Chains A and B, each alone.
Chain A
Amino acid sequence: MQDTLLEKHSVEEILARHMYEDFEIIEILQEIQRMEGYLSEKNLVLTSKRLRIPLSRVYGIATFYKNFTLVPRGKYTLQVCTGAGCLAKGGMKILDRLRNTLQVKVGGTTSDRMFNLETVRCVGCCGRAPVVVAAGKIVSGVDFGEILEAIENLRKRGRDEIAQPARS
């Protein structure tokens, strides 16, 4: 999902594609966030103008749904599942060790702006608990070594992409 960061769309294009329909605002904000990584004040104002709805309503939606963020986040998101099924299989231990390894709090972003560490409540794979979602991809039945490997691969990919931006 995070890969769409590289797609070249403008916010105006997103708005136009949704025909400036105000009921599609949630999908519009999702797409803006997918593109830019967060919802900037500029884009919230633009959305409000184009959809002809009060900025307060746009802000209300951007702050009600918890997946929206108003501040820039890291490139990839690591979500440790803390649903009951994963807790029963040791999800909390994985979270603790990730916190230590990455030196970051839950909800925080690593200093190199590469990873956000979050918890997620059940991704529907309790059958393969404990589960970690690394950049949208589910790593399941994990031991800690596997997660570290996935993280290092992502970090490498992230650095390569920054060094050589994909051509549009």
Chain B
Amino acid sequence: MKLLSLQDLESRAEASREWIRGRKAVISVCMGSGCISAGSEALLDLFRRAIADEGLSEQVPVMGSGCLGFCGKGPVILVRPEGVLYCGVDEAGVSRIVKEHIVGGKPVAKYLYGGGAKDAGIALMDEIPFYKGQKLLVLAGRGCMDPESIDSYMAADGYSALGKALSAMSPDLIIDAIKESGLRGRGGRGFHAWMKWESCRMAAGPEKFVVCNCDDGAPGAYAGRTVLENSPHAVIEAMAIGARAVGASMGFIYVRTEYDLAVGRVEKALAQAREYGLLGRGILGTGFDFDIRAVHGESAFICGESTALIASIEGRPAEPRHDQVHSSEKGLWGRPTLLSNVETWANVPPIIRNGAAWFRSVGSPSCPGTKVLTPGGRIRNLGVVEVPTGTPLSEIVFGPCGGPGPGRRIKAVQACGPAGGLIPERMLGTGLAYESLEEAGAMMCTGGLIVFDDRTCIVETVRSSIEFMSEECCGKCSPCREGLPRMLALLESICRGRARAGDLEFLEEIAWTLKDASFCGLGKSAANPVLSSLKCFRDEYVAHADEKRCPAGVCPELTRFVIDPEKCSGCGLCRKACPAGAVAGAPKEAHSIKEEICVKCGACRDACRKEAVFASGTAAFPVQRQLLR
């Protein structure tokens, strides 16, 4: 069914809205990667069947929704119109929710957040601490939109921005709107989006391209992929608007082929958009032609670098080129190319739809809007959050993320995956914005936010980041190709307590060389974790190198575990947790650890509720030294 005009578009959207309005309730089952891995696909079927058994199929539709963000508590389910969120729903929960809530009208406490046999829990999604403080622009419609249905996107005003851009706005007006909004690329450099658009529009060329980069690549950062999985149509709409503004007729969405779900949803969305005539020839009855091709990319972290990404689309090894001439003038096949990442694109339709002033009202003045983050590591709530820019990191870590586990303290936060600097706890007041994060030695980038607590070793964390970077180095320039393995070897020897005098200075020197002399952003940013940690956590390096101890009790070669007999209650939790069977002791009597067979994994320390297990090297340990005899 082709939409031939703006009226067609509006009536179609109104029909979709009307259909939803007439329903008694809607059950949205989260179909994000996290919840699918926890079995939400099966739940979707079970819900459909249970609803059909009650004879309610007409009144209560069951739909899959984009990621609801609360991945750590999956599978999660949202029941509208009330907006009740259920966590950790299992098979038994399906029939109970249908019988007691949908039919009976009473939420099932067992599956509510914080709910249980005795606790009522929190029923409404908006009242759960995880969702407070979030502001949704890019993830708007989460829970209400089926990512695999174009009608569902249109019901949420989808494609109306494209309609507006095609009917009421000239290309200059579109670029003006982007300029006024102050939108900045949600990538590492925070380039002002309108500058790219303008220079691409001004560039001469027989044909132009628009490209969307969905290769998050960095461990712990999957904001782009989540946005693409949640609303592939928003990206398609945005790219069409961009193409209209710069005069392009072909677009490419570069998705890693491992992102099965994202690839499938993009392909499906492209097919639906073509069917509706929102891609192809004469879009919405205007003379505007535009189509998009999904490129199944190979995974390579270097593809975050735009020139490397372009090389990969052209079918060459992903090695960066000199970017003296920006890709907006000479990009794909030497043609002017407007390239942005998923999140940047996804901000475009709301800006066009609601106006620049509306967008500027959110977030910090220097870079308005929101940022999608994917917090992970040692925090209570893991998942996907979207917060206004400028929000202090502490508010994110202790707000939606729920802070560290019981008894633990936050030690550092690594923003933007392995290439990001480590921000120590005392600097958590840093706002989430390009300039302030850069000052702190980190980057905003793809939205990774890994939190480390006092049982994480900083040197080991940096070692793991550098290991990743050296694996992903493309090998083109020598500072990066030679420097990263050298840094890795140094870090490894420090972790093993084999550091020699001068190693720390040498490490720092290599890192500066990388920052100064690397060809592309990968090498330059690879120095971030080393430099920032040497600055803020130098004492940990010194402890490893000179005192041969790991202050976090992590590095196996430098750590011994000991149980304090006075604190130990003999509960046996550590004995059960030990994978090597190294903990001995009778019930209710003090336990002890046999050092010969201990694998130094720390499972006993994590299991202990009395804080009776100590690692040598930690600050608390010297007091217990007599235990070692």
A89 to B260 CA separation, bound complex (whole angstroms): 24
Q: Are B418 and A61 in contact (CB under 8 A)?
A: no
Given A30-B296, A84-B465, A124-B216, A129 and B376 contact (CB-CB distance below 8 Å):
yes
Is A127 part of the binding interface, using a Cβ–Cβ cutoff of 8 Å? Answer: yes
Total contacts A-B at CB 8 Å: 127
Is A123 part of the binding interface, using a Cβ–Cβ cutoff of 8 Å? Answer: yes
Interface size on A, residues (CB 8 A): 41
Q: Which residues A36-87 have CB closer than 8 A to chain B?
A: 57, 60-61, 64-68, 82-85, 87
Is B222 part of the binding interface, using a Cβ–Cβ cutoff of 8 Å? Answer: yes
What residues of chain A lie closer than 8 Å to B318, measured between beta carbons? 64-65
Interface size on B, residues (CB 8 A): 55
Query: Which partner residue on chain A sits nearest B262 by CB separation?
Result: A124
Query: Which partner residue on chain A sits nearest B296 by CB separation?
Result: A27
What residues of chain A lie closer than 8 Å to B314, measured between beta carbons? 23
Q: Which residues A1-58 have CB closer than 8 A to chain B?
A: 1, 22-27, 30, 57
Q: Are B74 and A121 in contact (CB under 8 A)?
A: no
Q: Are B220 and A84 in contact (CB under 8 A)?
A: yes
Q: Pick the contact of A126 from B36, B259, B374, B474 — CB < 8 Å? A: B374
Give B343 Cβ to nearest chain A Cβ, in Å.
Answer: 14
Is B414 part of the binding interface, using a Cβ–Cβ cutoff of 8 Å? Answer: yes
What residues of chain A lie closer than 8 Å to B452, measured between beta carbons? 88
Q: Which residues B451-465 have CB closer than 8 A to chain A?
A: 452, 456, 461, 464-465
What residues of chain A lie closer than 8 Å to B414, measured between beta carbons? 84
What residues of chain A lie closer than 8 Å to B317, measured between beta carbons? 60-61, 64-65
A61 to B377 CA separation, bound complex (whole angstroms): 35
Is B450 part of the binding interface, using a Cβ–Cβ cutoff of 8 Å? Answer: yes
Give A155 Cβ to nearest chain B Cβ, in Å.
Answer: 21
A76 to B58 CA separation, bound complex (whole angstroms): 42
Q: Are A65 and B219 in contact (CB under 8 A)?
A: no
Given A93-B601, A128-B71, A88 and B300 contact (CB-CB distance below 8 Å):
no
Is B559 part of the binding interface, using a Cβ–Cβ cutoff of 8 Å? Answer: no
| Segment from A110-118, A132-140, A159-167 that makes contact with B | A132-140
What residues of chain B lie closer than 8 Å to A123, measured between beta carbons? 33, 258
Query: Which partner residue on chain B sits nearest A53 by CB separation?
Result: B315
Q: Are B298 and A30 in contact (CB under 8 A)?
A: yes
Is B199 part of the binding interface, using a Cβ–Cβ cutoff of 8 Å? Answer: no
Q: Pick the contact of B377 from A27, A68, A84, A128 — CB < 8 Å? A: A84
Give A124 Cβ to nearest chain B Cβ, in Å.
Answer: 3
Q: Are B468 and A121 in contact (CB under 8 A)?
A: yes
Q: Are A84 and B299 in contact (CB under 8 A)?
A: no
Write the B256-299 contact mask toward A (1 if CB under 8 angstroms, else 0). Answer: 01111000000000000000000000000000000000011111
Is B565 part of the binding interface, using a Cβ–Cβ cutoff of 8 Å? Answer: no
Is A97 part of the binding interface, using a Cβ–Cβ cutoff of 8 Å? Answer: yes
Is A125 part of the binding interface, using a Cβ–Cβ cutoff of 8 Å? Answer: yes
Q: Pick the contact of A125 from B33, B218, B257 — CB < 8 Å? A: B33
- Chain A residues within CB distance 8 Å of chain B: 1, 22-27, 30, 57, 60-61, 64-68, 82-85, 87-88, 90, 93, 97, 121-129, 131, 136-141
7 contacts between A and B (CB under 8 A): A66-B300, A84-B219, A84-B417, A84-B465, A121-B219, A127-B376, A131-B37
Query: Apart from A23-B313, A23-B315, what are 10 other A-B pairs with CB-CB below 8 Å?
Result: A30-B257, A61-B315, A67-B258, A84-B461, A122-B220, A124-B222, A125-B33, A126-B450, A139-B37, A141-B38
